[in-house]
Structure formats: structure tokens, C-alpha cells
């Protein structure tokens, strides 16, 4: 065989391999599209949040049969995924394969803990069904009629929740009483004597021009009838069930370890949320080390501010001095919006790519504000028809210090969650599950890392703003200690509250709400600091390796260009990125642990 024939043969082999890779990738992406559709059908609320209106007239089916069907579908999906030959996939499709496999494997492992038998939370549950109006468009008559159908279906949804709650009572799967004591007031807020006062009536208080005046009156009348004849009686009955049966049976303990198979459950939660194999003991130790480091930095800022007292006295000053608080909810909202406007023009200092999707600042709904966190982010619709929103808590302005606003806004809005979610939606050629992925360690780690980018953008010129950044970093470090403390080491709720208060200037109300959140959601809060530490470590590694070639804007873009992924996947990507910037051959990827192919 002459040299020309050999080259031609090698080209034919390469083209054949490329064709096989393309065919397998097409099949895989068709599978992902099928799975995405399954998810939308199984969770109408998730479909609504994504901007898909097809299922806006219904709630998720919480019957035992539907739950079992969803669990079986996850098991079948994993088996189908393993039918693909991973070796025939492109590197991008291998990343998609590995990511979806990770999600399915943990969804299946989670099934044995039967979380659905604890269907009521003080931060979410059937008493807050109305909250979905925040993501619904209400652009035309159909949207209002879909909402009327959901109102009509509220009694059936509450009956399903009661049935699950009773099964949980029988099997000893009960939430802590200290949290459930918050719920009666939330249920009572749904029992109104005037339909216009119901949170479910909110969409009917205003209409777009596309809905004629005579139709508006018809819609309002039907909404009022459904609320008074269906919704209110259903919540009144649900309240009786909760107050008379469920609340008295709630458990006195707070630790996840006290649930049936509780230790295994907490270990699973810690691994799931951090996307690592760190143990509770290791995470607790990391937390203690970080608390000590941040405490030292706080002492320096206290001295810069010219405060002469102790750290405890400085915390009291920060929690109580009138200069740090707005007097009204309206003034507080305007202050949040002003802070966001300060951030926006500085983003080009640390990013080469700015996402196209806009964001806005909204108040957290009044009916949930007393029992929820200081702020949160609601992602935009995946089709771009709804912006992202930064929701801020205006309840009791006298406990919402202004020194926390900069760090909080950097985390929840830009360049934190809004950048992370919006850039994910812009991933080219990625399946929808990748565009909308939310791995907590990556996503919340990015949010905490984004707070620190305020220094690179020149936004922490005031010592009190710097204390706010340290307070927020301390908040996430304290989480490592108190979450593992309560769920794995026998800490009481009171001990956790006191430890938090001793090491943070956050107000008592915020501290209590946070501790109760960790009790309610074991392991989730561990992900923030673990994720931020990994991203910061990768930044330092890149800076050291690249020296004068290191570009912070390019690094930040590189972190976001993967979308939300497990931390080990992010690390592999950044290591390859460093090698590429340095002009080196990228390292060989680790072999997949998958059994696929």
C-alpha cells in the first residue's frame, strides 16, 4: 500500500468513527428530549416555571400511584441511558451523559428515604400553592382560565397531601415540631371571608389589555366563587387535619439522624448537595477552620471602621444602629434597586460575556415573607419570555441592615445566580436539562464566589460593606458547623442559634430563620461554602499556573461556560482550560465510572 492509499484509509476510518459518534449523539439527544418532556408532564409547576404553558391548568399528581410511576420511570431511564455506547459519543455528549447519569443515580438512591411522606414544610407546601402566580404570565384570557382550573383542583391536591401525611405519621417519618408550629398561621392566611383577600385572587386584581372588560368581570366572579366554595373550605379542613392530627404527632427532635435510616439519609444529603464524598466530620472541621479565618478578617475591618469595643459589641452595633436600617418597606425596596444599579456597570471588569436575559428586583410576597430568607432568585423562563427576578424580603425593615445589601445582591442577582442561570440557558447545542441544571455546590458556590468579586469590581470601598461581605461569608462557614452539628453531632437548636449569633452580626430573626431552614433541609446549606472553596481554589491554581497570562475575565467566563455541573466535572474543565491557555496539551480525562456501553 502506497503512502497516499494509507492516508485515504486513515481518513475513511476517521470519517466512519465520526459518523458513528454523530449517530450515537443524535440518539442520545433524542433520549434527553424525551426525558425533558417527561419531566414537564410529571411536574406542571416546573413546566410553568420554564415558561411552558401546556400544563398551567393542573398540579403535580401526588397520589401513591403517580409517585411510584415517576420512581419507576427514573429507574427505566437509567437503564435506557446505559444502553448507549459512551465511547462513541463526542466529548460534549459524554459530559451530558455523565451529568444525567449522576442525576438519575441519585434520584434513584433517594427513593428509599421516601421524602414524599413528609409533604409539609414551613417554607413550602400546600399552604403556599398560590406562590406559583409569581412565574405565570397572565397575558391573555387562557392564562386566567388555566388558573381557575388550578383553583378548582386545590381540594384534591390538599387531600393527596393529607393522605401522604397520614402515611408518614404511621411510619414515623415526621418533621420537627419546632418547624411545624409555624404552619398553622400560614394555613390560616388562606381562610378568608372576602375572596379578594385570598392570595389566590391576586391575578384578578389587574388584567392586560388583551382581556375585554366584560370577560374580566366573568373571570373575577368565577374566581370569587371557586375561592369561597372550593379553596377556603379545603384549607379550613386541611387546617383542622394539621392542627388536630399532624402537629401533635410531629417529632420533638431536630436531627435528620433521628429519622428512620436517618444517618444514611444525612450522609446521602451531604454528598448529594456538595457533589463530593466528604464526611460530616470533615465538613465540620472545614467549617471550624473557615470560621476562625473569617473571624480574624472581621477584627481587622472592625478596627478600620474605628470601633473601639469588642467583636460582640460591634455585632450589636451593626444589628441595632438606626443608620443601618430603612424605615419603610418601600424605602428598603428602593435601596435594593439602587444597589443593583451600582453593580451593573462594573460587571465588564470581571466578565467578557454578559448574558442577554435581563433581571429585575421584586419584593417577596407578604404571606411568606415572615418565614422565609432575606432574599432569593427566581430564574427566567427557558424560552426567554420571562426575565429573572431577585426577590427581597421587606418584612420588618428594622431587621434588614443595609450593610448586607451589596454582598446579598452580588450573590442573588448579578453576577451571582442571574449570571449562572442566564448563561446556562445560552449553552450552545446543550440539551434542556443541562441548560436548566442546578447542582447546589456549583450554583450556590458560584453565588458565594460572586460576592467576593465585589472586591475586583471596586464595590467594597466602605468598611461596613466589607463587613457585610465577611458576614455573609461567615454565614456560609457557620453553616458547615451548625448543619453537621445538629444533624450528625447531637447539637440542639439553641446551641446552633447561639453559635451562629456569636460569630455573625446577622439579626436574631435572620439567625432563627436560617437555623430552622437547616433543620428543615438537611445538608443543602453545606454546598455553598464547599462550592466556593473549590472555585476559589481553581482560580488560585489558574493564577499560579498562568502568571501574566491569567485573565480574570476569561477565568470567570470559563467557569460559567460549563453550566451547572458537579464540582469534579468543573475541576476537569478548568484544568483543561489552564492547559489550553498555557499552550500545553490538555490532560487526559478521567475514565467514566459509568457502566454504559
**Tens-digit pLDDT string for the chain (597 aa):** 555 554 444 554 444 444 555 799 999 999 999 999 999 999 999 999 999 999 999 999 999 999 999 999 999 999 999 999 999 999 999 999 999 999 999 999 999 999 999 999 999 899 999 999 999 999 999 999 999 999 999 999 999 999 999 999 999 999 999 999 999 999 999 999 999 999 999 999 999 999 999 999 999 999 999 999 999 999 999 999 999 999 999 999 999 999 999 999 999 999 999 999 999 999 999 999 999 999 999 999 999 999 999 999 999 999 999 999 999 999 999 999 999 999 999 999 999 999 999 999 999 998 888 888 889 999 999 888 999 999 999 999 999 999 999 999 999 999 999 999 999 999 998 999 999 999 999 999 999 999 999 999 999 999 999 999 999 999 999 999 999 999 999 999 999 999 999 999 988 888 999 999 999 999 999 999 999 999 999 999 999 999 999 999 999 999 999 999 999 999 999 999 999 999 876 555 443 333 333
What tens digit of pLDDT does each residue of 566-588 get? Answer: 999 999 999 999 999 998 765 55
Residue 563: count other Cβ atoms within 10 Å of its Cβ: 27
Place of cell 373571570: 219
Q: How far is CA 323 from CA 190, 320, 336, 374, 464, in A?
A: 37, 9, 16, 19, 11
Check: CB of residue 507 under 8 Å from CB of residue 299: no
Place of cell 435528620: 256
Check: CB of residue 411 under 8 Å from CB of residue 391: no
Place of cell 417554607: 123
Distance of CA 57 to the CA centre of its chain: 25
**CA-based angle 521:434:423, to the nearest 5?**
95
Per-residue pLDDT, 583: 87
**Residue 422: CA atoms inside 13 Å, Cβ hemisphere, count?**
26
- Residue (of 385, 390, 379) closest to 563 by Cα position: 379
Per-residue pLDDT, 453: 98
Q: How far is CA 239 from CA 130, 191, 223, 460, in A?
A: 16, 9, 22, 47
Terminal alpha carbon distance of the chain: 34
Domains of the chain by residue range: 10-42+63-117, 126-252, 266-531
Check: CB of residue 186 under 8 Å from CB of residue 367: yes
Per-residue pLDDT, 594: 32
Residue 378, Cβ density class (10 Å: 0-12 exposed, 13-18 middle, ≥19 buried): buried
Check: CB of residue 116 under 8 Å from CB of residue 123: no
Q: How far is CA 329 from CA 13, 380, 389, in A?
A: 68, 25, 18
Per-residue pLDDT, 15: 42
Greatest alpha-carbon span in the chain:
92
Per-residue pLDDT, 5: 57
Per-residue pLDDT, 317: 96
Residue 385: count other Cβ atoms within 10 Å of its Cβ: 12
Amino acid at each position: 500500500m502506497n503512502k497516499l492509499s494509507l492516508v485515504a484509509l486513515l481518513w475513511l476510518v476517521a470519517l466512519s468513527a465520526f459518523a458513528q459518534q454523530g449517530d450515537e449523539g443524535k440518539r442520545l439527544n433524542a433520549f434527553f428530549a424525551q426525558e425533558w418532556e417527561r419531566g414537564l408532564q410529571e411536574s406542571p409547576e416546573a413546566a410553568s416555571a420554564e415558561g411552558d404553558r401546556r400544563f398551567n391548568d393542573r398540579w403535580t399528581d401526588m397520589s401513591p400511584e403517580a409517585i411510584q410511576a415517576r420512581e419507576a420511570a427514573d429507574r427505566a431511564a437509567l437503564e435506557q441511558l446505559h444502553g448507549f455506547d459512551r465511547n462513541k459519543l463526542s466529548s460534549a455528549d459524554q459530559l451530558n451523559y455523565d451529568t444525567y447519569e449522576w442525576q438519575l443515580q441519585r434520584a434513584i438512591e433517594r427513593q428509599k428515604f421516601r421524602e414524599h411522606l413528609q409533604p409539609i414544610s414551613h417554607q413550602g407546601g400546600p399552604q403556599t400553592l398560590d406562590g406559583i402566580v409569581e412565574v405565570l404570565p397572565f397575558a391573555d384570557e387562557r392564562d386566567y382560565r388555566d388558573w381557575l382550573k388550578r383553583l378548582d383542583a386545590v381540594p384534591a391536591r390538599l387531600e393527596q397531601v393529607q393522605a401522604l401525611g397520614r402515611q408518614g405519621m404511621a411510619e414515623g417519618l415526621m418533621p420537627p415540631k419546632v418547624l411545624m408550629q409555624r404552619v398553622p398561621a400560614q394555613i390560616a392566611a388562606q381562610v378568608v371571608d372576602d375572596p379578594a383577600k385570598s392570595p389566590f385572587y391576586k391575578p384578578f386584581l389587574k388584567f392586560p389589555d388583551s382581556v375585554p372588560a366584560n370577560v374580566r368581570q366573568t373571570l373575577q366572579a368565577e374566581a370569587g366563587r371557586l375561592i369561597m366554595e372550593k379553596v377556603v373550605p379545603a384549607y379550613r379542613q386541611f387546617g383542622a387535619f394539621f392542627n388536630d392530627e399532624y402537629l401533635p404527632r410531629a417529632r420533638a427532635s431536630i436531627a435528620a439522624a433521628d429519622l428512620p435510616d436517618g444517618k444514611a439519609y444525612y450522609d446521602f444529603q451531604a454528598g448529594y448537595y456538595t457533589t463530593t464524598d466528604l464526611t460530616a466530620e470533615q465538613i465540620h472541621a472545614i467549617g471550624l477552620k473557615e470560621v476562625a479565618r473569617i473571624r480574624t478578617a472581621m477584627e481587622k475591618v472592625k478596627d478600620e471602621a474605628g470601633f473601639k469595643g469588642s467583636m460582640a459589641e460591634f455585632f450589636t452595633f451593626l444589628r441595632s444602629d438606626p443608620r443601618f436600617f430603612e424605615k419603610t418597606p418601600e424605602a428598603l425596596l428602593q435601596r435594593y434597586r439602587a444597589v443593583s444599579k451600582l453593580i451593573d456597570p462594573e460587571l465588564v471588569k470581571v466578565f467578557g460575556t454578559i448574558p442577554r436575559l435581563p433581571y429585575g428586583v421584586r419584593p417577596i410576597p407578604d404571606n411568606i415573607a415572615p418565614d422565609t430568607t432575606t432574599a432569593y432568585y427566581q430564574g427566567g423562563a427557558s424560552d426567554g419570555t420571562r426575565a429573572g427576578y431577585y426577590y427581597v424580603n421587606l418584612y420588618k425593615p428594622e431587621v434588614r441592615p443595609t450593610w448586607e445589601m451589596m454582598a446579598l445582591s452580588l450573590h442573588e442577582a448579578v453576577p451571582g445566580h442571574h449570571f449562572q442561570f442566564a448563561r446556562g440557558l445560552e449553552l450552545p447545542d446543550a440539551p434542556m436539562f443541562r441548560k436548566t441544571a442546578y447542582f447546589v455546590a456549583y450554583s450556590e458556590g458560584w453565588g458565594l464566589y460572586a460576592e467576593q468579586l465585589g472586591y475586583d469590581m471596586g464595590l467594597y470601598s466602605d468598611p461596613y460593606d466589607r463587613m457585610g461581605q465577611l458576614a455573609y461569608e461567615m454565614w456560609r462557614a457557620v453553616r458547615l458547623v451548625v448543619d453537621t452539628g445538629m444533624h450528625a453531632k447531637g447539637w440542639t437548636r439553641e446551641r446552633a442559634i447561639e453559635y451562629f449569633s456569636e460569630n455573625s452580626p446577622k439579626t436574631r430573626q435572620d439567625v432563627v430563620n436560617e437555623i430552622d431552614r437547616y433543620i428543615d433541609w438537611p445538608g443543602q446549606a453545606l454546598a455553598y461554602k464547599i462550592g466556593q472553596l473549590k472555585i476559589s481554589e481553581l482560580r488560585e491554581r489558574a493564577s499560579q499556573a498562568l502568571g501574566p497570562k491569567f485573565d480574570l475575565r476569561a477565568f470567570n467566563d470559563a467557569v460559567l461556560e460549563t453550566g451547572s455541573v458537579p464540582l469534579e466535572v468543573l475541576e476537569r474543565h478548568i484544568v483543561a482550560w489552564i492547559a489550553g491557555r498555557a499552550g500545553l496539551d490538555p490532560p487526559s480525562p478521567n475514565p467514566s465510572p459509568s457502566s454504559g456501553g
